[in-house]
Each structure stands twice: as C-alpha cells, then as structure tokens.
Amino acid sequence: MLRSSAVRFSHFLPSLLLLLAGLAAAYVKDLNVFFTSLFNVLPTLVLLLGGAYCAVYRRQRELFLMVTVYIAYFLLDTQTDYYRDNGKVREDAAVVFHLCCLLLPLLFGLFAAWQERTHLFQDMVARFAVLLAFGSVALGLEQSYPQALLMWLSEIRWPALHGAWMSLIQLSYPVFIASFLLLAWQYWRNPRPLHAAQLVGLLGLFWMLPKTFILPFTLNIMCSQVMLMIAAAVAHEAYQMAFRDELTGLPGRRALNERMQRLGRNYVLAMSDVDHFKKFNDTHGHDVGDQVLRLVASKLSKISGGGRAYRYGGEEFALVFAGKTLEECMPHLEVIRESIATYNIQLRNQDNRPQDDQQGRQRRAGSSASSVSVTVSIGVAERLEQRTPEEVLKSADQALYSAKGAGRNCVMAFGQNRRGAVRMDAAAG
C-alpha cells in the first residue's frame, strides 16, 4: 500500500512542482527585462519543442492537448496585449474570453480522455476535424452574431447556484467540473503520469482564466506550465517504458544495471526464480503464468530490510540490498520466500470473467475459482573485496542453482552447502 501510494505521488509530483512554480512566478510584481522577454516567447517555445517531442514519439493525444492550450493562449494573448498597449479592452474581448472559458475545458477534457485506438493517421484526422469543427462554429457565431452569442454565454441560467465569487461565465463551471470528474475517473481506472498531468493541468487552467487580465504574464506562464506538464509526463512515461517492466510493474533489467553502478562498497544481491514455472505455464496457460509472475513480483516488492526488487527476465527476479551484510539480509529473504510459498493464488475463470475489475476481485475467491500455490528459490551473495557487481550477481545466480539442486523452495547463500539451505519443509521437520 505504501509503495502504491508512493508511485501515485510520483505521478503527480512533477506537475505539482510546475504548477507551484507557475503560481509563484505569476505573483511576482517586478520582472526585469530578461524575464519579461522570456515569458513573451515561452509558450511558443514550449509548443515547438514539446510538440516536436510528442510528434517524434507519436503521442497525438498530448500533441492536441498542447495545441488546444496554445490556441486559447494565442486568442487571449492578443486581447491582453491590446489591453496593455491601449489601456482598454477590444470590442470583442468579452465574447472571445467567454468562448475560451467554455471551449478550453471542454476540448481539454475531450482530448485528454480520447485515447489512441485507431490508425495514427485516422486518429490525427479525427482529432483535427473535431478541433476544426468547434473552432469554425465558434468563429462563425462570433463574427455573425457577436451580441447574441455574448448574451447567450453570459446568461445566468441557475440563479440559485450563482455566487458573487464566480468570475467566469456560469456555463464554464459545470464544464470544468465534468472534465475534472472525467479525468479523475480516468486516472483512477488507469494511474499514469499523463493522466495525473492532465488533472493538475486542468486545475492550472481553472486558476489562470480569472487572472488573465489581472496579473501580468499569468496567461503566458500558466499556459507554458500546463504544456510543460504534458511534455514532462511523456518523458516520465518514456522513462518508465525503458526502465520498468510492464507486466509486473517492477523496475526492469536496465534499471538494475544502472542501480548496480551506484551500490558503494557494501551490498548484497539475490537472485530469485519461480520453481517449475515452465511446467506450471504449460499446465495452466500463459494467462495464469502472467498472474503468477505478477503475484510473485507483488510479494517481492514488499521485501523488508531495505531491499529493492527488479524483474531480471522471464521468471527470474533480482533483489538488491545496499549497505547490508549477508547476515542482515537472510532473515528478510526467508520471510519473503515463506510468504510466497504459503499464499494460495485464486485462478481467474477467463470464460466467465467480469468486465469490472472490482467485481472480479470480489468473485475471485468464489466457488468457481480454483487455487494453486507456487514456490521460489533464492540465491544470495555478498560483495567481498575486489568484486564487481556483475561478479556478485553471477555468484548469486550460482547460489540460485544450488538452491534448485537442494530441492527448491529455499534460500541459499553463495558457497553454502545444501545442508545449510533454509527450507520450509526442513524447518517444519
């Protein structure tokens, strides 16, 4: 639970830092020439760099989110520039501002929830068509019926729900709330850095709009920060794809190799392997095999004693204990081995599996489910003088083979004989 909470917090952390930085910068009253010039070009610079980054990685949803934010920035920036230069607003300022307050959260929520499910080119054409349709209708109405559109937008439809604190048109608030709930539900269903960035970005836009004509450069700063949140989320997910195993959620082989270069002088490495996994896979199928790997990974991720679990490959996992000795690590390895051996895995009925995950969890232990159990063998080695991490890992792998030879379901240290292996059945005997 703690690790899950930490992972979710890491999803939000970059976006929250960017949001706080934007809020702090927006309230600075006296800006020197450098920052004034920077804020003038920052949104365009972020769009060009972030948009190119998203285009290279074919992240069209993120690209259209940036474009949506930038279009709103361009329309409102034209109005604020005129206001700063002339001391008064343009004649169309009210209708343009109200349209942005309505369409920005609507399109942001739409594109944020719109996942790529078709061919890339078809998806791009569909998104562009939606953006063009909304933009064309809004522009046509604004040019042909400006006063009627302004009255329709600014009308207070629900007097009982209207408060003096509301500085936006009443219609924009239910749109913001609906978009926020949609994105919150999306994150709850599929926690990802991108979904977290979309939520925080929407909050940033909600704060920004009422301050557009009040705080100088608020528009420039917050639009840039929201686009940076999206670009940072893409980078975060690219890092996860490179360093985190998709099936188990554990850090992968590349993350292990990087960690091994920063272990210091004292450390312990362990290699763990699911016993008889190939036979188990052939008997129950690959879906059940994946379920077992996720269960073992979940157990190993909770290793105590300062250990960190990694997916090494196949059914093998690595455990890293930095700054520890072999004697300190062995009890923790034995605890995790026993917790896996004594856990009954409820097999899911694929033919009658509920679509909803919560219902699936409630029914998993029902009468229609069968249960199995698996065991793991663990080999462990400690860093000695003049030994590299690769050599220590190789020694742990040799100890793993010794544990297999000792009957499996045991923890064996490098150089330990079979009599010294820690086994559940031997302890019970």
DSSP 408: S
Other Cβ atoms within 10 Å of 276 Cβ, number? 15
Structure-block tokens of residue 271: 């290699």
Q: Is 142 a catalytic residue?
A: no
Other Cβ atoms within 10 Å of 257 Cβ, number? 14
Alpha-carbon span 77 to 60, nearest angstrom: 25
CA dihedral 191, 242, 47, 121 (to 10 degrees): -80
> Which stretch of DSSP H or E encloses residue 251?
none
Alpha-carbon span 40 to 292, nearest angstrom: 54
Secondary structure class of 386 (helix, strand, coil): coil
**Which of 62, 237, 315, 382 is the catalytic position?**
315
What is the DSSP track for 57-110? TT-HHHHHHHHHHHHHHHHHHHHHHHHHHHSS--TTHHHHHHHHHHHHHHHHHH
The closest of 235, 226, 155, 168 to 197, measured between CA atoms, is 226
> Which stretch of DSSP H or E encloses residue 157?
none
Please give the angle made by the CA atoms of 407, 411 and 413, to the nearest 5 degrees. Answer: 110
What is the DSSP track for 105-150? HHHHHHHHH----S-HHHHHHHHHHHHHHHHHHHHHHHHH-HHHHH
Structure-block tokens of residue 166: 């509301």
DSSP 90: -
DSSP β-ladder status, 376-382 and 267-274:
antiparallel
Alpha-carbon span 372 to 341, nearest angstrom: 10
- Active site residue ranges: 315
